[in-house]
Amino acid sequence: MATNRFGYWIDVTDRASATEAVRMAGLPVLLIGASFLLNALVASQSGATFAGSAAGLSLAGLVIITIAFAIRGGRAGLVPVETGLSALVLAVSIVLNPTILVIVPLLALLLCISGLRGWLWLRRNPR
């Protein structure tokens, strides 16, 4: 098993560590989906927003959470889609809120990139 010296960065050296990296990449996606659902709840409670925006956020949140559980269940093929989506959402989060709190999106981005590395290893080294 690979050493995990940095906590959030998984060294991908064998099948087990690659699988672990892929599974851990689902966590940021789960949190992003939960964030979308929370934003939908807040949007539905505020009278100034359109009902379509709350419904759209809810639908996006449910789709993202479904992707997260599929990745956690072992569907490694969704990792490139997840990494691109997560990188986009987290980059927007960092640009819109440039404070010390950008550490959390950066750690989530590290997990996504580590999962992509695990997916690449699994793709290059089939059983």
Q: What is the pTM of this model?
A: 0.74
| Separation CA 33–CA 115 (nearest Å) | 17
What confidence tier does 15 reach under pLDDT thresholds 50, 70, 90? confident
pLDDT score, position 4: 54
Q: By C-alpha distance, which of 25, 6, 4 is closest to 118? A: 25
Residue 6 binned pLDDT confidence (cut-offs 50, 70, 90): low
* pLDDT per position as a tens digit, 26-42: 888 888 888 888 888 88
